[in-house]
């Protein structure tokens, strides 16, 4: 534990040893690794959970709106695609 055989272990070293003694199989560490893996995936994607609206962000800007870029609020086909991406089921397309 301590670097020198004559030195007493530090408080942190004692805490670390107690944690190992309580969990000799390392179950907690495996759980921590699993949580870290899921966190890394979410950070890579930029969100957690289901896929957000697939509409590009610039479609919601003033420039995008004035240029007539579609959003789920203005385009029935894009609305169905967004619904599919979020809920996993198509909502159908409006007719006329």
10-residue averages of pLDDT along the chain (96 residues): 69 85 81 89 78 81 93 88 75 51
Residue 81: which domain range? 57-87
Distances (CA, A) of 51 to 29, 45, 71, 83, 85: 29, 9, 16, 10, 6
Which run of H or E residues covers position 13? helix 11-22
Question: Does 48 reside within a domain?
Answer: no
pLDDT at 95 (0 to 100): 45
Domains of the chain: total? 1
Question: Does 77 reside within a domain?
Answer: yes
Question: Does 30 reside within a domain?
Answer: no
Question: Does 51 reside within a domain?
Answer: no
How far apart are the C-alpha atoms of 31 and 90, rounded to whole Å? 36
pLDDT at 91 (0 to 100): 60
């Amino acid at each position: 534990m301590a670097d020198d055989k004559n030195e007493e272990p530090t408080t942190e070293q004692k805490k670390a040893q107690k944690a190992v003694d309580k969990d000799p199989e390392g179950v907690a560490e495996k759980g921590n690794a699993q949580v870290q893996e899921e966190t890394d995936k979410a950070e890579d994607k930029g969100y957690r959970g289901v896929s957000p609206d697939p509409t590009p962000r610039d479609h919601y800007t003033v420039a995008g709106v004035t240029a007539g870029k579609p959003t789920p609020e203005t385009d029935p086909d894009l609305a169905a695609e967004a619904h599919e991406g979020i809920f996993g089921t198509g909502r159908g397309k409006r007719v006329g």
